[in-house]
Structure 1
Amino acid sequence: MRFTKPLLSGLIIVTAALSGCVSKPDLPLVPVDIKQPAAAYAWDLSGKILVKTPDDKVSTNLYWLHSPRRDEMRLTSMLGTSLMSMSVTPEETKLTADGDTYTDDDPQRLLYRLSGWSIPVDKLPLWLTGQFEGATVIKKDAQGRPSELQATGIQPWTIQVRSWQPDNPVLPRLMLVSRPGMELKVQINRWQALAPAAPVANSLPTNDQANTQS
């Protein structure tokens, strides 16, 4: 089963509402400042994504929350209507579109089965933060940063970093990820590193404290 054309159009609408409707991660998270993206325990981002295949060309808003045990991704239209949401954990992947929910234990297989999109869901969180370990650098920009890379695999992906964020931490702003029959263009407008919230200290005194005070 694959998304129909009307469903794809609706998907574009869904993505914009993403930021307010994403499921809560396993731990409460708070924003933190870091110098290197790899130092982030978790992160969220918002931006835009263009997906091109021989049959489709879909442009949507993108919201993504990434943590060690969960990924929450949603696509929405400019009007803020949700088109697709996907929740990925080590145990299960759930994808909701057009009012229906589908499950699988492999996010890439589920997404391809429903939409025909072959998207490297497992690799993108690293690539979006400029972590290209395992990929071969083909070209660098004037600052010595990777501008074109090739990720190994049965069907290798070509990664082009068109521009980088101007502020710390240094991570891509505009990226093109492609291979024959599939092209993804991702623009990151906002990226925030997250860390688990510090536990709230118990305001009630322990028995030892109470005995000392008495």
Structure 2
Amino acid sequence: MLAAAAVLVSACATVPEPAPVADPQRVWQDRQARLSRLAHWMAAGRIAIRAEDDGATLSLHWEQLGDAYQIRLNAPLGGGAVEIAGDPDRVVLRSSEGEGPWTASSPEALLRQRLGWSVPLEGLRYWILGAAEPGVSVENLVLDADGRPERLSQLGWEVHYANYRPFGAYELPTRVFLNNARVSARIVVHRWNVQA
């Protein structure tokens, strides 16, 4: 019995790590194309935001369907919730305390006005997936051995990635770190639901 356990343990110990891809840049381009076409996904987790002298940790539920999105942010211990729903033409923000709704054509301006901080939701829509926003120049791109981004810069934001995991046919990050001169955010995704 002990000998069988030793054989089993040694067999598990010799499982080789997957070899790095031959051309990470090519894998990145393919990955970018696949993720930019991803039309329907949902992410659930937490977001910690720090803006100047203020900060908050909130639960996050984001559903993206084409160009339309619905984002729900809940404060801990019944501290209230905010729902942000929008598309390229309009964004609506509602509060669980019965305030609002507030509308605007720009989610960034509305977030800054109502919450005191702002992140570029159009860019974040792609960044959270481990992709760059299409049509916007990418700087400081650093890829891992598998062609996934470890870091990129867009729209004045530095985006760092950690802990990719498979979710369906996609490898998606479970940790995304964003910062610019005024705001930093840490997103931890506990659950992805991806529908191609």
TM-score by length of structure 1 reads 0.66
Aligned positions of 1:30-49 closer than 5 A: 36-49=34-47
- Partner-residue secondary structure (3-state), 2:103: strand
Residue by residue over 1:150-196, the C-alpha shift from the partner in whole angstroms, topping out at 9 and shown as x without a partner, is 11x3xx1101112212454111110101101100111111111236x
Q: What is the rounded CA distance, in whole Å, between the counterparts of 2:174 and 2:125 in structure 1?
A: 13
Q: Which amino acid aligns with 2:129?
A: T
- Distance in 2 between the 1:88 and 1:116 partners? 19
RMSD, matched Cα? 2.0
Which residue of 48, 52, 63 maps to 2:61? 63
Q: Partner of 1:183 in structure 2?
A: 184
Q: Would you say the 8 A contact 1:175–1:185 is kept in 2? A: yes
> Percent identity of the aligned residues?
24
Partner of 1:108: 108
Runs of 5+ unmatched residues, structure 2: 1-33
Paired residue type of 2:49: V
Cα distance, 1:142 vs. partner? 4.1
User: Could you tell me whether the CA contact under 8 Å between 1:137 and 1:146 is conserved in 2?
Assistant: no
Cα pair 2:70 2:86 within 8 Å, conserved:
yes
What is the rounded CA distance, in whole Å, between the counterparts of 1:109 and 1:157 in structure 2?
Answer: 17
Residues 42 and 82 of structure 1: CA distance in aligned 2, closer, same or farther (over 3 Å): farther
Q: CA deviation at 1:109?
A: 0.8
CA contact (8 A) 1:107 1:121 kept: yes
Q: Residues 109-148 of structure 1: matches in 2 within 5 Å?
A: 109-132=109-132, 133=134, 134-148=137-151
For 1:107 and 1:40, the matched residues in 2 are separated by: 21
Is the CA contact 2:46–2:59 (under 8 Å) kept in the aligned structure 1? yes
The structure-2 alpha-carbon separation of the partners of 1:141 and 1:90, relative to structure 1 and needing over 3 Å to count, comes to: closer
Matches of 1:164 and 1:82, distance apart in 2:
31
Whether the aligned pair in 2 keeps the contact of 1:164 and 1:171 (CA below 8 Å) is yes
Gaps of at least 5 residues in structure 1 are 1-35, 196-214
> How many residues are matched?
157
The residue number in structure 1 matching 2:31 is: none
Distance in 1 (CA, whole Å) between partners of 2:107 and 2:66 is: 15
The TM-score normalised by the length of structure 2 is 0.72
> Helix, strand or coil: the match of 2:122?
coil
Deviations 1:112-157 (A, max 9, x none): 1112212111111111112214322443334342211111x3xx11
Distance 1:146 1:91 in 2: 30
Partner-residue secondary structure (3-state), 1:170: strand
Q: Distance in 2 between matches of 1:40 and 1:165?
A: 17
- Taking the aligned partners of 1:164 and 1:109, their CA distance within structure 2 comes to 32
Deviations 1:39-97 (A, max 9, x none): 43211110110100112110011000111242100111344664211111234211112
Q: Is the 8 A contact 2:130 2:148 kept in 1?
A: no
SS in 2 for 1:125: helix
